[in-house]
Copies of this chain bind each other. A is one copy, B any other.
Amino acid sequence: MKDYNIRDIAKLANVGVSTVSRVINDHPDVKKETRDKILSIIDEYNYIPNNSARNLKLLNGNHIGVLVRGSFNPFFSQIVELIEKKINANNYSMILHYNINDLSDDSESIIEQVKEKRLGGVIYLGGNFNNDSMVHLKSLNIPLVLASSIIETDSDTSFFSSVRIDNVQSAYHAVDYLCQIGHKNIALLSPGMYDVKNGLLRRRGYEKALNDHGITIDEKYIIDGTYTFNSGFEMAKTLIESNPEITAIFATSDIMAVGAAKYLLSSGKEIPEDISIIGFDGLEYSQFFHPALSTVKQPIEAIAFESVKLLFDLLENPENKTQQITLKTELLVRDSVIKIKEHSYD
């Protein structure tokens, strides 16, 4: 029950190995008759080409790496699942690596992974990149797409393909809405050191919205944490205990929002009557929370879909131009927000 190799198949079919190779790779220069015969032998003996040999010869692997900056966030899990589906449809395999680089520079860890695993391409989810990173990475000479990543560079952003959203605008949208319906004491739940750049942009949107509505920014309404349920819970607790006048919370991720909402509800507050809350990401989960959470929905399917598409554009034709795509988010207003009551006119 040994495995057959291409030479065995060639012998069995009475042809040369080159011909078998051509059949396997769909080269046109094979007579239909010969092709059919070889195909039937391949089928009969259950021959499967050896990928290692193939990759050795071709000098590039057919694994594409999906490297994820964070971990334990359903937002990433969902994207990853969708990406996997598409990668497999293209006859590549996905090598998944969560929680890349807790310490080092993003570009470092990517380079390491690519070399070590001989990846044919990489999708990087959720990191931060500056000019140096980009140049460093460029030396890899490998198809790379940056998805949901923050790219901080004034110069050439066209080194790599990228798929992202407008974080400032998206956050602005949510906070602007809160202001419009009368909220003035609006808190911000922000990721702290963990993923600074990302949170920073959303914070800028928050500040801009307040500014535009003539509300002065109060540092004590802004609190840092991490992208976890627990952190959301704790942040809300700290915030509300010392600032009971807060009427709305904008959380920069849904899991934070859920954590915060949980604190509010379990401390006897009502949502949205006492406090309105808006999350970020648009996890399926958020609509099954009770009350249904308002959120800024990221186009998760599109992020996954476009990332893979851009990657294969580069993979199939390395001469292709890189592309930068910015996708639209959508503010979903659900049951967790309410127009503020004007006490004076009661």
List residues of A whose CB falls within 8 A of some B CB: 1, 48, 50-53, 55-56, 61, 63, 71-72, 74, 77-78, 80-81, 84-85, 88, 93-99, 115-118, 139, 229, 233, 258-259, 261-262, 265-266, 284-285, 288-290
What separation, in Å, do the CA atoms of A289 and B261 have in the docked complex? 9
What separation, in Å, do the CA atoms of A48 and B118 have in the docked complex? 10
A312 CB, nearest partner CB in chain B, Å = 18
10 contacts between A and B (CB under 8 A): A50-B118, A51-B118, A52-B61, A81-B98, A85-B98, A85-B99, A95-B96, A229-B288, A266-B290, A290-B290
What separation, in Å, do the CA atoms of A97 and B96 have in the docked complex? 10
Shortest Cβ distance from A54 into B: residue = B52
What separation, in Å, do the CA atoms of A118 and B53 have in the docked complex? 11
What separation, in Å, do the CA atoms of A266 and B72 have in the docked complex? 29
Please state if B61 and A71 are interface contacts (CB–CB under 8 Å). Answer: no
What separation, in Å, do the CA atoms of A282 and B328 have in the docked complex? 34
Please state if A88 and B97 are interface contacts (CB–CB under 8 Å). Answer: yes
User: Nearest 6 A-B pairs (CB), nearest first?
Assistant: A77-B77, A52-B55, A52-B56, A265-B290, A262-B288, A96-B96
B contact residues around A71 at 8 Å (CB):
81
B contact residues around A266 at 8 Å (CB):
290
Shortest Cβ distance from A139 into B: residue = B1
A77 CB, nearest partner CB in chain B, Å = 4
Please state if B48 and A115 are interface contacts (CB–CB under 8 Å). Answer: yes
B contact residues around A77 at 8 Å (CB):
74, 77, 81
Other-chain residue from B56, B72, B98, B285 in contact with A229 (beta carbon distance below 8 A): B285
What separation, in Å, do the CA atoms of A97 and B92 have in the docked complex? 11
What separation, in Å, do the CA atoms of A61 and B74 have in the docked complex? 30
What separation, in Å, do the CA atoms of A26 and B223 have in the docked complex? 50
B contact residues around A80 at 8 Å (CB):
96
What separation, in Å, do the CA atoms of A118 and B48 have in the docked complex? 10
B contact residues around A96 at 8 Å (CB):
80, 84, 94-96
B contact residues around A63 at 8 Å (CB):
63, 93, 95
